Amino acid sequence: MLQAGLLIISLVALAAPVVWGGRADRWAAVLLLADMMLSPLAQHLMLGDVRWGVALVDLACAIGLIGLALRADRWWLLFAAGLQVAVVLTHFAALGPAFIYNWTAVTVRLATWIALLIVLLAGAYEAHLVRRYRLLPGAPA
């Protein structure tokens, strides 16, 4: 039930940049959707206890988000890139004791995904407000 609910929330959140966001917001949504869709396909690629396939998918997403954050004037992309780097770092938890990996890394990844969705929604809605009210960055209120 949690998985189905999270899937629906994820798809709604990933649709927000398509409706409200700009070009960079849409590209970020594409990256996050690709990460969400490719991760289950890469689950079986393991080396010991490390799911290196998923780690590579997450790393590619992090690199893409960092690239977008460096090119676009969007605050949330920098935040999302940092969260995705944290996800990549959780894959190193598999090198420690199994009980740490099973509980900590998976919980951190889930919490980070939810944080990414919240940041994505906030960033897309902010882009909508800027366009709607013609707000310019750095302009006096």
Going by the DSSP 8-state scheme, the letter that residue 101 receives in this structure is: I
User: What's the whole-number mean pLDDT along residues 125-137?
Assistant: 80
In tens, the pLDDT along 61-109 reads: 999 999 999 999 889 999 999 999 999 998 887 777 766 666 777 888 8
The distance in angstroms from the start CA to the end CA of the chain is 45
Query: Whole-number mean pLDDT of the chain?
Result: 87
Domain spans of the chain, in order of start: 23-132
In this structure, the number of other CB atoms found within 10 A of the CB of residue 77 comes to 24
Structure tokens at 1: 């039930």
Count of all residues that appear for the chain in the document: 141
**Model confidence band, residue 28 (pLDDT cutoffs 50, 70, 90):** very high
Assess contact for 108 and 17: CB atoms under 8 A: no
**Model confidence band, residue 3 (pLDDT cutoffs 50, 70, 90):** confident
- Give the global pTM: 0.85
